[in-house]
Amino acid sequence: MANEHPPMSIADLLRSTPEGVVLFDRDRMVIMANPVAAKLTGLPSEGFSLSEFIRLFQGKIAIDLEKTIEQVLANGKAAHIEEVCIVSFFYEMFIAPVFDAAANVTGGFILLRDLTKEKVLTKDLEKFKLAVDNVSDQIIITDPDATVLYINDATEKITGYASKEALGGKAGKLWGNLMAKSFYENLWKTIKIDKKTFVGEIVNQRKNKQKYTALISISPILDEKGEIEFFVGIERDITKEKEIERAKTEFVSLASHQLRTPITAIRLSLESLQQRSEQLNLPLDDIEIISRAKAYANGMSRTINTMLNVTRIEAGETKVVPTEVSVEQLLTEVWQAFSTEVQNKHQSLSIDCAPMIHRTDASLLREILNNFLSNAIKYTPDGGKIRLHAQKERGDTLHMDVEDTGSGIKQEEQKKIFTKFFCGGEMLTLSKGGTGLGLYLVQSIVTLLKGRVTFTSQPGKGTVFHVFLPPLP
Amino acid sequence: MRTVLLAEDETFVAGFYKKTLESHGVAVSIVSNGEEALQAIKTQHFDLLLLDLLMPVMDGYQVLAQLKKDKIRIPVTVVLTNLSQPVTKEECKALGAEDYIVKSDSDAEDVWEKVEKYLPHEGG
C-alpha cells in the first residue's frame, strides 16, 4: 500500500524546527511555543503567555514589542527585528501574521533565529582584526597572484601607502622591485611552487622613494585541496638595526686597527729580544719573561682577529673563498704559530695528518684551528698533551680533531659552550682571559662552510673537538 | 744582491723588518710615505716592494694606483696592513699587489718567509 509513512502533524514540524516558534491567536493567546523558543527566551517549556514574552523584552529592545504585535495583527504585515539579546543568546526576530484560506488574519507567529554562534565568531574576528590592525609589524594579505587584499595600519605607516591606494595593486610594484631579479624569482618559487614560507631580508621603498630594509616572512595559506588561497606576509622594518650593525662593524674595525699598531711594535720588539737573548747572555728567567710576553702579544693579536671575524660574520659580510688547501701544511703553520705558547707551558703539540688536499676556505679553516688550539693550550695544564689530527672520510669530507689532556668541560656546561660570551668555569675563566667568542665564532664559521662541529669531554681527563667539513663547490 | 723597497711610516717597526731582511742577505731601502716611494722606484730597480697601506702624504692605495696609471711595473708588491682589508689574495690583485701581510699577526721572520717566496733566486 502506498503512503505507509506514519502521520506527521504541523505540531511535529514546529516542535522539530531549528528556529524558535511562538504561535498565537488574535486574542494574543499562545497556542504553541516550541522547545527552541523556550530555550532562547528562558521561558518555561510547558508554556507561557504572550505578555510574559513581551515583558521579557521591556527595555531591552528599541521597539515597542506590544505595539508591533498589534500592528502585525491589524495590518497583516510582518515585522523584522535584526538583533535581540536576551540572557546570553543573540537572535533575529520575525513577527508575522497567520492567514486563513480566506486571507483573514487569524493570529500570528514569532520566529526566533539563533545568531549566537555567528555573533561570537564575529566578535572573535573583530578581536583579531583589532590585533592585526594595531600590531607594529606590517601584515599584508594578497591573493595567489600577489594582488593586495589587505594591509594593516603598520603597513600604511611604513610604506606610506594608504589602504585604498594599495588594495588591488601588486605588492611587488607598489613598494618592491629594488632587489635582483633572482631574489624575486627565488621568493616566488618558494611560496608559489614549493608552497613554503619564505624568510629573508629585503630592501623596499616607501611612497616617497625612501628605501628601507625589512625582514620578511611570507606564507602561503592552503585550502583543503592544498591549493593556495592567499599569501600572508609579515614584515618588520629593520633599517635601524642594520644601521646599528654597520656602526658596530665600523667601530670594531677602527678599534682593531688602533690596537694592531701597538701590538705590531710590541711583538717585533720581543721577537728581536728573543733572537738576541743568546748574544745578550740573558739569564733563563729573563728569556722566559720575554717568551711569555711574546705569547701574550700573539694572544692579543688573535683576540682582535676573533672580534673582527665575529663582527663580520654577524653582519653577513664574511666571504667564503674556496681553494685547494693543503691540510697538513695548514696544520703545520698553525702549530708553528702557537709554538711559543706551547713551549712556555712545556706542553707537547703533535700533528697526525697525511698529505691531503681539501677544497675549502683556508683562512676560515685556520681561524677554526686557531680557536681550538688556543683553548686547548689554555685549558690544558703544564706538561699536557695536545694533538691535531685530520683525515678524509666518506664523500670527501674533511674530519679534523683537536684533542687535549686538559681539565675538560663540565657536564652541565656542555650545552652552552658554543653560545656567545660563554666562558667555562667560575673564577678560573677570568684569570685565563677568555672572550667567550672563540667557540661561538667556530660554530658560525662551520655553519657558513656547511659543516658540523661536535665534541666529547671528560672533566679531569680532556676534550676532543671534531669538525666535519664537506668539500666546497 | 736582491733589493727590497720598504715603504713604512712607523720607523720603529720598519727597523725590525729591515734588520731581519738584511740578516738574510737582502738590501733594504726605507721610505716613509708614498711620494718618497714613487721617487725611489723611479731612480732605482727593486726586486720587491713592501708597501704599507696607511701612510701620510700619500698612502699605499694611491701609490698602487699611480704605478698602474704610469704603467710602472714592479716585479712584486706585497702589501703591509693592519686594517681589516684586504682579506684575500683576490682583493690584493685588484689593488695591484701579489700578496698581503697582516703586521700584527706576523713576526719579522714571518715577513721574511713571505718575501723570500717572491724574490728572485740569489745569483739571478
How many domains are there within chain B? 1
What is chain A's mean pLDDT, rounded? 87
A264 in B contact zone (CB under 8 Å): yes
- Give the domain range for residue B105: 2-34+41-117
pLDDT score of A429: 44
B91 inside domain:
yes
**B104–A319: do the CB atoms touch at under 8 Å?**
no
Query: Is the CB of residue A45 less than 8 Å from the CB of residue A35?
Result: yes
Of the listed ranges A84-93, A193-202, A238-247, A327-336, the one predicted with least confidence: A84-93
H helices of B49-107, in order, are: 60-69, 89-95
B94 in A contact zone (CB under 8 Å): no
All structural domains of chain A with their residue ranges: 10-117, 135-237, 239-318, 319-473
Question: What digits encode the pLDDT tens for the residues A137-153?
Answer: 999 999 999 899 999 99
The two counts, helices (H) then strands (E), for chain A are: 16, 17
A10-117 has CATH 3.30.565.10 classification: no
A363: chain B residues, CB-CB within 8 Å = 87-88
pLDDT score of B9: 93
- Note if the pTM is more than 0.90: no
Name the architecture of domain A239-318.
Orthogonal Bundle (1.10)
pLDDT score of B51: 93
Which of A253, A259, A271 is closest, CB to CB, to B107? A271
Q: Could you give the CA distance from residue B71 to residue B22 in angstroms, rounded to a whole number?
A: 29
* Bridging pattern class, strands A138-142 and A148-151: antiparallel
B65 inside domain:
yes
DSSP assignment letter at A6: P
A264: chain B residues, CB-CB within 8 Å = 10, 13, 82, 103-104
CATH number at residue B10: 3.40.50.2300
Chain A stretch 361-400, residues whose beta carbon is closer than 8 A to a beta carbon of chain B: 363
Q: Could you give the CA distance from residue A169 to residue A37 in angstroms, rounded to a whole number?
A: 49
pLDDT score of A216: 93
Q: Could you give the CA distance from residue A79 to residue A95 in angstroms, rounded to a whole number?
A: 5
B124 inside domain:
no
Average pLDDT, stretch A328-350? 89
Give the minimum alpha-carbon distance from A331 to chain B in angstroms, rounded to a whole number. Answer: 16
A349: pLDDT strictly greater than 80:
yes
A272 in B contact zone (CB under 8 Å): yes
B52 inside domain:
yes
Which of B12, B87, B107 is closest, CB to CB, to A267? B107
B16 in A contact zone (CB under 8 Å): yes
Question: What digits encode the pLDDT tens for the residues A18-45?
Answer: 899 999 888 888 888 888 888 888 888 7
The CATH number of A135-237, from 3.90.1150.10, 3.40.50.300, 3.30.450.20, 3.40.50.1970, is 3.30.450.20
Give the minimum alpha-carbon distance from B57 to chain A in angstroms, rounded to a whole number. Answer: 19
Which of A260, A272, A319 is closest, CB to CB, to B82? A260
Q: Which residue has the higher pLDDT, A84 or A101?
A: A101
Burial annotation A420-450 (CB, 10 A radius, 16+ → b, else e): eebbbeeeeeeeeebeebbbbbbbbbbeebe
Q: Could you give the CA distance from residue A142 to residue A220 in angstroms, rounded to a whole number?
A: 10
B60 inside domain:
yes
User: What ipTM was assigned to the predicted interfaces of this complex?
Assistant: 0.92
Name the architecture of domain A319-473.
2-Layer Sandwich (3.30)
**A265–B10: do the CB atoms touch at under 8 Å?**
yes
A10-117 and A135-237 share one fold = yes
H helices of B1-124, in order, are: 11-23, 34-43, 60-69, 89-95, 108-118
Which of A256, A301, A321 is closest, CB to CB, to B84? A256
B103 in A contact zone (CB under 8 Å): yes
Give the minimum alpha-carbon distance from A353 to chain B in angstroms, rounded to a whole number. Answer: 23
Q: Look-up: residue for cell 700533528? A: A351
